[in-house]
Amino acid sequence: MTDKEQHAEPDTEPWPAGMVTSRALRGYVERGEITTVRLAVPDMQGRPKGKILSAPVFVDRMDSQAEICAYVLATDINMTPLDGFDLTSWEQGYGDLGVKADPSGIRLLPHQPGTAFVMGDAFHHDGTPVEVAPRYLLRTQLERLADFGYHVALGTEAEFVLHQGTLEEAHRTGYHGLRPAWPHNLDYALGHPPQASDFFHHLHDVLQEAGIPVEAIKTEGAAGQVELTFVYGDVMAACDAYTAFRLIVHDLAQRRGMTPNFMAAPSTGVGNGLHLHLSLWSAHGNAFTYHRSEDLPPVMERAIAGLLSAMPHLAPLYAPTVNSYKRYAPHTFAPAGYTWGFDNRGCAVRVTGVGEKAHLEVRLPGADANLYLAVAATLAAIIHGLQDHPDLPPPCVGDPYAANDAIPVPADLAEAVRRFDGNKIVLDAFGENVVRHYVRAAQAEISWHCSQVTDIEREYGFGRA
């Protein structure tokens, strides 16, 4: 931490409860209350990656930071080094990237005494940022939006299916016979099995203490399914909080012999979404404020039009896996086409909230999305709307799954890549290097799946083919 940065710390501003300033962290470390620091960079899958640093070493070097192998930003879900990335390769020796702590991303992990969790950014040795890093991608879209005079407020809505048994047990049984933590659809139920009830209580309190303000926890519409909504706030802070939440929920569940599953389609007919509630703000307040549905502010109409016209080309950034596309099924509450409507949960973009609370709910991202990338894609689409004024189709009234004139969501990741690669809106928003990187990641995901013979294929074809 340089003197300049220390000086710039928002010591006097309200700091979300649970978050700490770097000066406060130094204090904790000097008093021996914090002994280790997890300095994290979100990887391509949105998982925090890094090292557990000895706390005194971390505070000594807060500015010169730590190093991670660059392949963390060029790998698949199983951490397989993949060829075809410009960022790093065997030819380049899989060298290091620097990681610089973000002073606004420091929190304590209350369930792991003595531990702080710090979000960081990846840098090349010459000090330039890594342009394919998810946090950097998001920052560039926020800067573009700031040029239009807007900043964004974001609230996330996270779904997952909670299973009985640890990850190790699931692995040992070949992922067969997985048991949801309760056997029925307990949507909106307020009575839960005691183990789940205790878990929700504990999870809520730990998140709250870790500076991850929970709005609500509810059981969702499938066996074992849970939804958490987080309080609306600054975009980068919301993405960092969600990343820390993923770490915490896994950790707490495992300690109780349970496992959360964030796959977009955890089983046939079940979808885990990661909906984004967002609004644009200017010096005059919420730019989406409206009082009559026939009188939406032009900026809101442009944002919706941008989303409908650009999101079809951005799917690899919010639906990054082969599994992502199995979630988009009719009458499941996951969208099947690029539609919009007023308080219509079958639409891709739902206008919701009234008056000054008006906002858009973008229902396209699945729970397997990297939140930084999903938000960056969403903002790129909104910017396209503000800049290029595409036509706004009429809102969907009635059943959006019957809206035959809407652009359907891509059938699979291969179609999503075809719409993404070379698209002008995408290139203008992210640049060639970023597009090439994420096309390569999607191709690697497709090739892996194409090369595997699965249990389900055997079940379908064994003895009958």
Q: Give the interface with ligand GLU as residue ranges (CB under 6 A).
A: 159, 227, 271-273, 327, 333-334, 345, 363
Q: How far apart (Å, rounded) are the C-alpha atoms in residues 247 and 346? A: 30
Of the two residues 220 and 240, which places its CB atom closer to Mg ion in the complex?
A: 220
Query: Residue 327 binds what, of ligand GLU, Mg ion, none (CB under 5 to 8 Å, by partner type)?
Result: ligand GLU
Amino acid 393 reads P
Closest separation between CB of residue 108 and ligand GLU, Å? 31
Query: Residue 363 binds what, of ligand GLU, Mg ion, none (CB under 5 to 8 Å, by partner type)?
Result: ligand GLU
DSSP code string of 97-145: EEEEEEEEEEEE-TTSTTEEEEEEEEE-TTS-B-TTSHHHHHHHHHHHH
Amino acid 223 reads A
Q: Among 43, 227, 368, 445, which residue sits at the site for Mg ion (rule: CB under 5 A)?
A: 227
Of the two residues 43 and 220, which places its CB atom closer to Mg ion in the complex?
A: 220
Helix (H) or strand (E) holding 199: helix 194-209
Tell me the residue number closest to ligand GLU, measured at CB: 273
Of the two residues 227 and 240, which places its CB atom closer to Mg ion in the complex?
A: 227
Helical residues (DSSP H) of 226-353, grouped into ranges: 235-255, 298-310
With beta carbons less than 8 A apart as the criterion, state whether 413 and 322 touch. Answer: yes
Question: CB count, 10 Å around CB of 94?
Answer: 13
Closest separation between CB of residue 158 and ligand GLU, Å? 10
Chain centre to alpha carbon of residue 285:
26
Of the two residues 123 and 325, which places its CB atom closer to ligand GLU in the complex?
A: 325
Closest separation between CB of residue 267 and ligand GLU, Å? 12
Query: Residue 309 binds what, of ligand GLU, Mg ion, none (CB under 5 to 8 Å, by partner type)?
Result: none
Closest separation between CB of residue 271 and Mg ion, Å? 9
Stretch that binds Mg ion, among 103-111, 215-223, 250-258, 259-267 (CB under 5 A): 215-223
Query: Residue 359 binds what, of ligand GLU, Mg ion, none (CB under 5 to 8 Å, by partner type)?
Result: none
DSSP SS3 for 76:
coil
R_g over Cα of the chain? 22
Note whether 43 binds Mg ion by CB under 5 A: no
95: its two tokens = 């060298």
Tell me the residue number closest to Mg ion, measured at CB: 227
Amino acid 339 reads T
DSSP SS3 for 458:
helix
Find the farthest-apart pair of alpha carbons in the chain and give their distance in angstroms, rounded.
72
Q: Indicate left, alpha or beta for 353 from its phi (over 0: left) and psi (-120 to 50: alpha).
A: left
Of the two residues 107 and 363, which places its CB atom closer to ligand GLU in the complex?
A: 363
Closest separation between CB of residue 449 and Mg ion, Å? 27
With beta carbons less than 8 A apart as the criterion, state whether 97 and 124 touch. Answer: yes
Of the two residues 68 and 369, which places its CB atom closer to ligand GLU in the complex?
A: 369
DSSP SS3 for 194:
helix
Stretch that binds Mg ion, among 75-83, 213-221, 349-357, 380-388 (CB under 5 A): 213-221
Of the two residues 159 and 445, which places its CB atom closer to ligand GLU in the complex?
A: 159
Of the two residues 260 and 390, which places its CB atom closer to ligand GLU in the complex?
A: 260
With beta carbons less than 8 A apart as the criterion, state whether 372 and 138 touch. Answer: yes
Dihedral angle sign, alpha carbons of residues 416, 421, 422, 426: positive
Closest separation between CB of residue 249 and ligand GLU, Å? 17
Closest separation between CB of residue 224 and ligand GLU, Å? 13
Of the two residues 121 and 227, which places its CB atom closer to ligand GLU in the complex?
A: 227
Closest separation between CB of residue 326 and ligand GLU, Å? 11
Applying CB under 5 A, the residues found at the interface with Mg ion are 220, 227
